[in-house]
Amino acid sequence: MKTSRRTFVKVLLGAGAGAAAPPVARLAEAWAAQHPGPRAKKQRRWVMVIDLAACDGCKKCTEACRREHFVPFEQEWIKVYETGNNPYDRHNFVRPCMQCENAPCVKVCPVAATYHNDEGIVLIDHNICIGCRFCMAACPYGVRFFNWIEPTHSPREKFVQYSPEFPVPHRKGTVEKCMFCAHRVKMGRLPSCVEACAAAEMWAIWFGDANENLVTNGVEVKKLTQLLGEGRAFQYKEELGTHPRVYYLLPSRRDLQGPNMAKPTAPPKVKDDPFRP
């Protein structure tokens, strides 16, 4: 069956994309411009790129994640750390789940509660999780959290239909973490952290499909390979062989910054950068 370019864009966006659809629409339009004519649907491979030069540590991403997922008290599924020994080499380091392709947490789970979905996102089925915390011990990034007590449920949370893509309401005795907002991605929307970063006019978090080689920060659409090539990209703890799907652009990219990024008071000392590959 032949599919027009316009039909493909509509299918990619999905029903209910709403006001958040334009960034994803631009991804689809960019793909269509590069691949005219019909083509079979390709498996998605979602990735995230975090520009450390653009992040000012506002933590809007953390707040948005907490609101979106009703994140339990004292948990931060996307955490912002401040690094550096002085004001001149101080940076912010954003740490979500790395969504490893070779995920240690998946390998050690004795009941297969932690798994990759069809698009490679690492999810947790809380109907199966037994709370052994083997996955927490195996994760080298410290991005998993255990519910020691019964989480407080808001009135809105109680009416949510549970699924691993949107693990609400939360449950005592189970492990939780970031899941790239799999429920939003399924509807053609960007993860909440990406939208919040764009709303704060930082545009530091990019999200997209590596198989299509396209990512967006909510405003621009770029080729993934181009963005990684110009930004001296690295993967956190890549030497462990986990193959994370989160990439970072070094803070030294400030010499490439646009007009919307604040100038540093002095050049950062790249040699002392703890995240230098």
Q: For residue 77, what is the DSSP state?
A: S
| Residue pLDDT, tens place only, 222-239 | 999 999 988 789 999 999
Q: Is the pLDDT of residue 159 over 80?
A: yes
How confident is the prediction for the chain on average, in pLDDT?
A: 82
Both tokens assigned to 191: 């993860």
Q: Is the pLDDT of residue 27 over 80?
A: no
d(CA 12, CA 28): 7
| Residue pLDDT, tens place only, 236-252 | 999 999 999 999 998 76
Q: Which of 12-26, 28-42, 84-98, 218-232 has the highest mean pLDDT?
A: 218-232
pLDDT for the residue 43: 87
Q: For residue 152, which amino acid is it? A: T
| Residue pLDDT, tens place only, 66-104 | 999 999 988 999 999 988 777 667 789 999 999 999 999
Instruction: Over range 129-142, report the average pLDDT.
Output: 97
pLDDT for the residue 156: 85
Q: For residue 185, which amino acid is it? A: V
pLDDT band with cut points at 50, 70 and 90 for residue 16: very low
More confidently predicted of 89 and 187: 187
Q: Which of 87-91, 129-133, 136-140, 261-265 has the lowest mean pLDDT?
A: 261-265
Q: For the chain, what are the domain ranges?
A: 5-272
pLDDT for the residue 260: 42
pLDDT for the residue 258: 43
pLDDT band with cut points at 50, 70 and 90 for residue 123: very high
H-run or E-run covering 234: strand 233-234
* 3-state class (DSSP) for residue 122: strand
d(CA 238, CA 85): 24
d(CA 161, CA 142): 28
CATH architecture of 5-272: 2-Layer Sandwich (3.30)
Residues of the chain above pLDDT 90, percent: 64
Q: Which of 35-49, 143-157, 248-262 has the lowest mean pLDDT?
A: 248-262
Alpha helix locations (H) across the chain?
5-13, 21-34, 60-69, 104-108, 134-138, 182-186, 192-199, 224-230
- DSSP secondary structure, 147-199, as one string: --SPPPPPTTGGGPPPBTTB--S--TT-EE---TTHHHHHTT---HHHHHHHH
pLDDT for the residue 145: 97
More confidently predicted of 40 and 86: 86
Long-range (24+ apart) CB contacts under 8 A made by 155-162 are 156/70, 157/70, 162/126, 162/127
